[in-house]
């Protein structure tokens, strides 16, 4: 997102930087006047949020006094000349897989990205004014630290460490130079074993909050332990990507992981917020050292708002951070994104993600969604429709419209009937609900055209998300927040309001780095014994006009024999 606060301006791009919408925003004044780099001479209190995602490292700096964004920046791993030498493929940002379903990134890339990010930050912001740093990492991704790592990481505490760079300084700290990420899908055998070992699907969900998804960390750990026993044997600590950054920032390989991101590991007891003996036993069965070895490799679990240390000497001497800068435990990208919204959030991105706030006891016993906690410890459910808005784009393309040609499609939606026609289309296998691919299938007596097809596909997709979320969604008339590119379509929002039968408010995309910065500020104040409700600030996320469900639209979807009931009948014929 780009800040629109007055008093800030775009800094001209420097030589070698990317001329993309990632251009940073910096204060025109007072940050440019009277500033001595590395010295906090203006009594500012800033929170830095860092997101290590699949394609980029991003950062947001939040002024904790004014609750405004004062800097934001993003570096694309493949397009930044300082980072594009690590061998990842530009089409999917992973290393060349040895087998289908393998998805790894080079662990050293994250270290180089952190150095590069701080180099750019130092040009625009005085790091000495940053009071707290909080992180976000692509959920489920993790790294394997070697038995030499504790001693190697302690070099970050030495005064002369700032003369080097992170990759050179931390050489030898990795048991494996690769980091498996969330795209990993070659773990079906391991997922089945773990599920069966604990007593089946129901017990798996009761323990972990999810039904052993292939990409979850513990399932991948079992795969790595079986495939590379020497690497597993030489692993001192397994750290999530969200916690490897705090480990580097503090110079401590043993920093704890938070229970929000640990929810995505298939190793934690969701309700107790601690490692489950049953799950650890299942993951480690037959691996070198067994259960005790895996337990020793796992860090402690803490709340995501916990202070895990202060910044190490390397960053103080190299970049000018204050030695009192607090480092927060951090969390995953989904938990940090959820921080920005109190209540339920529907994200209309490439995939459609439904995040539903819960009481911490609610689980999806069907196994379609996963139970998590956000970056400040609030429970929620997370369901993903892989065949989401991307399919809507593909349909428009079939009628000759470009990806960003929304106006003609919106005009046809205005004229299309609401809740009449069904159109199923799943180009790829689906996980919400689990099902195979489906070619375009129209249900109803209608002549296909852009308006009818487009409305039918949108409504059918929304019906799927709504119906398969009912097991963990409470009936409420509270606002449903909607983000993502499709939030600009009033006709799509109209249909969402009717399907969910509740008011809808579109909000701008906040992003995990902003969520991390906000959570970092909240965590800092909590560490100081204060409770400051930063989320009440309406300037952080722009909100659109509230849309209430229309009576006729509600009836079309919810009446006996209406759209939702017909969807269930037709879906059963197609999928089961």
Q: Supply φ then ψ for residue 255, to 5 degrees.
A: -65, 145
Which residue shows structure tokens 């925003």? 25
What tens digit of pLDDT does each residue of 469-505 get? 999 998 899 999 999 889 999 999 999 999 999 999 9
What tokens appear for 511 in the block?
A: 């992003």
pTM for the whole structure:
0.88
* Of 207, 223, 211, residue with least CA distance to 102: 223
Q: What is the DSSP letter of 183?
A: T
Whether the CB-CB separation of 129 and 40 falls below 8 Å is answered with yes
Look at 21-30, 70-79, 141-150, 323-332 and tell me which has the smallest mean pLDDT: 21-30
pLDDT for 15 equals 31
3-class secondary-structure state, position 547: strand
**Cross-strand bridge partners of residue 76:** 56
pLDDT for 220 equals 98
What tokens appear for 291 in the block?
A: 């259960």
Outline which parts of the chain fall under CATH 3.30.420.40.
49-334, 389-506+546-575
Average pLDDT over residues 274-291: 98
What tokens appear for 506 in the block?
A: 């579109």
CATH number of the structural domain 49-334: 3.30.420.40
Q: What percent of the chain has pLDDT over 90?
A: 83
For residues 471 and 487, give the distance between their C-alpha atoms in angstroms, rounded to a whole number: 25
Average pLDDT over residues 87-99: 94
Strand pairing of 370-373 and 379-385? antiparallel
Residue 450 neighbours by CB under 8 Å, 6+ apart: 396, 399, 401, 408, 409, 412
What tens digit of pLDDT does each residue of 12-26 get? 333 333 323 222 333
Contacts made by residues 404-409, CB under 8 angstroms, sequence distance 24+? 406/488, 406/489, 408/450, 409/450, 409/454
* Of 115, 142, 406, residue with least CA distance to 283: 142
Average pLDDT over residues 25-51: 52
Average pLDDT over residues 433-453: 90
What tokens appear for 129 in the block?
A: 């004014």
Cα–Cα distances (Å) from 525 to 39, 45, 65, 305, 534, in that order, read: 22, 11, 11, 10, 10
For residue 40, pLDDT over 80 is answered with no
Cα–Cα distances (Å) from 413 to 29, 396, 401, 462, 484, in that order, read: 46, 12, 14, 15, 19
Average pLDDT over residues 324-332: 97
Cα–Cα distances (Å) from 442 to 313, 388, 430, 474, in that order, read: 63, 17, 18, 31
| 538 compared with 133, residue with greater pLDDT | 133
For residues 229 and 227, give the distance between their C-alpha atoms in angstroms, rounded to a whole number: 6
When pLDDT is cut at 50, 70 and 90, the band that residue 319 belongs to is: very high
pLDDT for 43 equals 66
Cα–Cα distances (Å) from 120 to 126, 191, 287, in that order, read: 11, 42, 43
For residue 1, pLDDT over 70 is answered with no
Q: Supply φ then ψ for residue 357, to 5 degrees.
A: -65, 140
When pLDDT is cut at 50, 70 and 90, the band that residue 356 belongs to is: very high
Average pLDDT over residues 259-284: 98
Average pLDDT over residues 516-531: 96
Residue 432 neighbours by CB under 8 Å, 6+ apart: 368, 369, 383, 384, 385, 386, 464, 465, 468
Look at 117-131, 158-172, 255-269, 385-399 and tell me which has the smallest mean pLDDT: 385-399
DSSP per-residue codes, 108-134: HHHHHHHHHHHHHHHHHS-GGGEEEEE
* Of 316, 275, 282, residue with least CA distance to 296: 275
Q: 480 burial class (0-12, 13-18, 19+ CB within 10 angstroms)?
A: buried
Q: 481 burial class (0-12, 13-18, 19+ CB within 10 angstroms)?
A: buried
Average pLDDT over residues 390-400: 93
Which residue shows structure tokens 């000349």? 81
For residues 26 and 21, give the distance between their C-alpha atoms in angstroms, rounded to a whole number: 14
Through-space distance between the first and last CA atoms of the chain, rounded to whole angstroms: 41
For residues 430 and 386, give the distance between their C-alpha atoms in angstroms, rounded to a whole number: 6
pLDDT for 5 equals 31
The count of residues in the chain is 576
CATH topology of domain 389-506+546-575: Nucleotidyltransferase; domain 5 (3.30.420)
**Helix residue ranges, H only, 475-511:** 490-500
Average pLDDT over residues 292-299: 98
**Mean pLDDT of the chain, nearest integer:** 90
Look at 133-142, 252-261, 431-440 and tell me which has the smallest mean pLDDT: 431-440
The sign of the CA dihedral 105, 429, 510, 413 is: positive
Which residue shows structure tokens 């992003």? 511
Q: 185 burial class (0-12, 13-18, 19+ CB within 10 angstroms)?
A: middle
Which residue shows structure tokens 């690590």? 86
Whether the CB-CB separation of 261 and 242 falls below 8 Å is answered with yes
For residues 333 and 137, give the distance between their C-alpha atoms in angstroms, rounded to a whole number: 5
| Beta strands, E only, 388-544 | 422-426, 430-431, 434-435, 438-443, 480-483, 504-506
């Amino acid at each position: 997102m780009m800040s629109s606060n007055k008093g800030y301006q775009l800094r001209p791009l420097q030589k070698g930087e990317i001329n993309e919408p990632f251009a940073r925003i910096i204060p025109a004044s007072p940050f440019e006047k009277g500033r001595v780099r590395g010295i906090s001479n203006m009594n500012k209190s800033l929170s830095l949020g860092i997101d290590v995602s699949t394609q980029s490292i991003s950062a947001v700096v939040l002024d904790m006094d004014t609750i405004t964004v004062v800097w934001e920046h993003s570096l694309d791993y493949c397009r930044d000349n300082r980072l594009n030498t690590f061998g990842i493929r530009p089409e999917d940002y992973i290393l060349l897989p040895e087998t289908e379903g393998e998805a790894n990134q080079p662990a050293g890339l994250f270290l180089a990205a952190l150095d590069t990010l701080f180099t750019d930050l130092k040009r625009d912001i005085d790091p000495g004014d940053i009071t707290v740093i909080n992180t976000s990492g692509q959920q489920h991704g993790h790294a394997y630290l070697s038995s030499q790592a504790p001693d190697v990481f302690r070099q970050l505490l030495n005064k002369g460490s700032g003369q080097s760079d992170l990759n050179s300084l931390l050489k030898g700290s990795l048991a494996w130079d690769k980091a498996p990420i969330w795209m990993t899908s070659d773990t079906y055998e391991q997922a089945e074993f773990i599920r069966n070992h604990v007593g089946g699907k129901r017990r798996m969900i009761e323990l972990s909050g999810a039904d052993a998804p292939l990409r979850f960390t513990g399932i991948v750990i079992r795969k790595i332990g079986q495939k590379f026993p020497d690497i597993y044997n030489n692993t001192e600590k397994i750290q999530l990507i969200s916690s490897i950054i705090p480990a580097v920032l503090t110079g401590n390989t043993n920093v704890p992981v938070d229970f929000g991101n640990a929810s995505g590991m298939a190793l934690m007891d969701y309700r107790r917020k601690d490692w489950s003996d049953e799950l650890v036993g299942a993951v480690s069965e037959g691996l070198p050292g067994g259960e005790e070895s895996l337990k020793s490799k796992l860090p402690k679990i803490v709340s995501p708002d916990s202070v895990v240390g202060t910044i190490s000497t390397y960053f103080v001497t190299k970049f000018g951070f204050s030695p009192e800068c607090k480092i927060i435990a951090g969390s995953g990208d989904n938990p940090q994104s959820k921080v920005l919204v109190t209540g339920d959030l529907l994200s209309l991105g490439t995939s459609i993600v439904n995040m539903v706030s819960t009481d911490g006891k609610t689980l999806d016993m069907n196994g379609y969604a996963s139970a998590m906690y956000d970056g400040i410890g609030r429970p929620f459910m997370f369901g993903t429709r892989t065949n989401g808005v991307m399919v809507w784009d593909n349909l428009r393309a079939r009628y000759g419209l470009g990806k960003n040609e929304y106006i003609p499609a919106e005009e046809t939606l205005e004229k299309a009937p609401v809740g009449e026609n069904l159109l199923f289309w799943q180009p790829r296998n689906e996980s919400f609900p689990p099902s195979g691919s489906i070619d375009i299938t129209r249900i109803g007596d209608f002549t296909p055209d852009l308006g009818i097809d487009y409305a039918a596909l949108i409504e059918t997709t929304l019906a799927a998300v709504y119906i398969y979320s009912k097991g963990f969604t409470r009936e409420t008339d509270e606002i449903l927040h909607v983000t993502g590119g499709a939030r600009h379509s009033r006709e799509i929002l109209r249909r969402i309001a009717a399907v969910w039968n509740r008011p809808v408010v579109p909000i701008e995309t906040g992003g995990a780095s902003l969520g991390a910065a906000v959570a970092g500020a909240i965590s800092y104040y909590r560490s100081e014994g204060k409770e400051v409700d930063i989320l009440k600030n309406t300037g952080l996320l722009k909100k659109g006009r509230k849309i209430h469900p229309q009576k006729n639209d509600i009836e079309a979807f919810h009446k006996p024999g209406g759209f939702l009931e017909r969807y269930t009948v037709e879906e059963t014929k197609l999928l089961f």
